Structure 1
């Protein structure tokens, strides 16, 4: 099965209407606050299992650890018409620059973590990964994977670690995308435009599975927190 045909959890967060959904529900008395809390967990099976939860009107304190870090929604177009934020990405213990403080969006309807072309090239160079011509993902040998370091996402004043395990396609599902056990496939890919475009990343499901996120449209802000799956 090709990557493009894999099922996606689409909550329409890529659509401008997502920002209006909590407001409309609040006005109708359906929820008590203009916010949505979203929790997902990584999975290694294609079977239909419950690995996510959406909390309308608030957050579920049992789904995250520590505090929720809230940041203003970005004003940079076109990310500003979606659930957009600003973030910086670095790689490894040496904090190699991957993406400067630019705007992008979070989206449950996108499988991968997409970054601007120049950022993607910097990531590929840092990891030593090669492109798989058939699948369209970067790949590493098992020995290379053993040396893969974490990515670090700075969102507001907080920095979040995206571990080596978080950066890879579930190895149990390699065959589902036409891959083999000879390689480890990476879930970071090219968004197709250079940085500075106004949407320099899409933090898709592969990212959101590792964190708890909150769309608080009533206060025009986005929240993020670590979970039990962040370092799994």
Structure 2
């Protein structure tokens, strides 16, 4: 039983239960949110040098691959640093880890942050709750130093969870580091990546993700590692600056359109393991690939049939992206399960898709780039 698939809904159904204080935006942030910062930096070299020192380099954060279902890396929080494993999640925008005061079962088998041991921690009296499709967490908003590789952000807003739903007990990571847009932050604090850029810690306002079936997956902060893909990146615009949301032209199998015939919206989400879509389309796909639901709602196929199943083709901005059956069917201990699930919102292009296609997330120009990932 692959209970870890319950985590698929983690990054979509988020609810804010507090109203953040209104803060005035800097000129840089307003330009960035309006998609004009990249053009300004290109036109004004001195301003570009201010934000991108010549000796700066992109920083690569290695990721652990757990059964092609979770990808997570190491960060540290506080002074002296306390280490945690987190999912670098483009489908959310907050950083949270368990607190030492958390008494939930889900916290019992994960590392917990002890605020009393950090000399740089700044506490607040604010409590933040985040609701997910399969559970929730609640905790205290604090500020502290956060380290990702060699990048050190100071006064970073984060949540120390004091209660968590039981489903997180089965996760192999401690917390989540959101890489979505600031408007997605439920606490009203700037995401970690935004602080990396605003504090001048990375050379470009961009990060990229390479997920493999091997042991060399990574997130690159401040640049693109072209050794992880072949060909050229194809850039598409972000349609709504909250999630990394784009437009899909169509989704087909065997040249038959199953969804998005007239176009639809999709989220590129590193925090979701599957490809998810509207119930009608996903239901028809499951039926046509011979997937049958078990008592837990997971869909299984006969492993011997994988070689005869059709490729899925996702067309984005005129480019066709093929996802073969060997990618969308998961094989674990002789059991084969479908990598498609339903969602009530936009389609979700999760890890199944990202393992096939390297992805770059460009905040300066508000666009997402795709290229064929190098297999490892």
Structure 1 length-normalised TM:
0.78
User: Secondary structure in 1 aligned to 2:270?
Assistant: coil
The alignment status of 1:185 with 2:337, answered yes or no, reads: yes
User: Secondary structure in 2 aligned to 1:149?
Assistant: coil
Question: Taking structure 1 as reference, are residues 33 and 219 closer, same or farther at Cα in structure 2, changes over 3 Å only?
Answer: same
1:120 to 275, 282, 287: 282
- Does the CA contact (< 8 Å) of 1:42 and 1:210 recur in 2? no
Kindly state the Cα deviation for residue 89 of structure 1 after the two structures are TM-superposed.
4.1
2:268 to 92, 106, 112: 106
1:26 to 188, 191, 197: 197
* Counterpart position of 1:177: none
Q: Whose strand fraction is larger, Structure 1's or Structure 2's? A: 2
Superposed CA RMSD: 2.2
* Counterpart position of 1:47: none
> Whole-Å Cα distance in 2 between the matches of residues 120 and 72 of structure 1?
26
Kindly state the Cα deviation for residue 26 of structure 1 after the two structures are TM-superposed.
2.2
Q: Between Structure 1 and Structure 2, how many residues are aligned?
A: 204
User: Secondary structure in 2 aligned to 1:41?
Assistant: coil
> Whole-Å Cα distance in 1 between the matches of residues 193 and 369 of structure 2?
15
* Counterpart position of 2:217: 52
Kindly state the Cα deviation for residue 24 of structure 1 after the two structures are TM-superposed.
3.1
Q: Which has the higher contact order (CA 8 A, sep 6+)?
A: 1
Kindly state the Cα deviation for residue 8 of structure 1 after the two structures are TM-superposed.
2.5
Larger Rg: 2
The alignment status of 1:221 with 2:367, answered yes or no, reads: yes
Stretches of structure 1 that go unaligned for 5 or more consecutive residues are 44-49, 175-180, 194-198
* Counterpart position of 1:14: 91
* Counterpart position of 2:210: 39
> Whole-Å Cα distance in 1 between the matches of residues 303 and 217 of structure 2?
30
- Does the CA contact (< 8 Å) of 2:355 and 2:373 recur in 1? no
The alignment status of 1:212 with 2:374, answered yes or no, reads: no
Please give the residue correspondences for 1:39-188 in structure 2 after superposition, counting only pairs within 5 Å.
Answer: 39-43=210-214, 50-75=215-240, 80-100=241-261, 101-134=263-296, 136-169=297-330, 171=331, 173-174=332-333, 181=334, 183-188=335-340
Kindly state the Cα deviation for residue 102 of structure 1 after the two structures are TM-superposed.
0.9
> Whole-Å Cα distance in 1 between the matches of residues 304 and 70 of structure 2?
30
> Whole-Å Cα distance in 1 between the matches of residues 317 and 303 of structure 2?
34
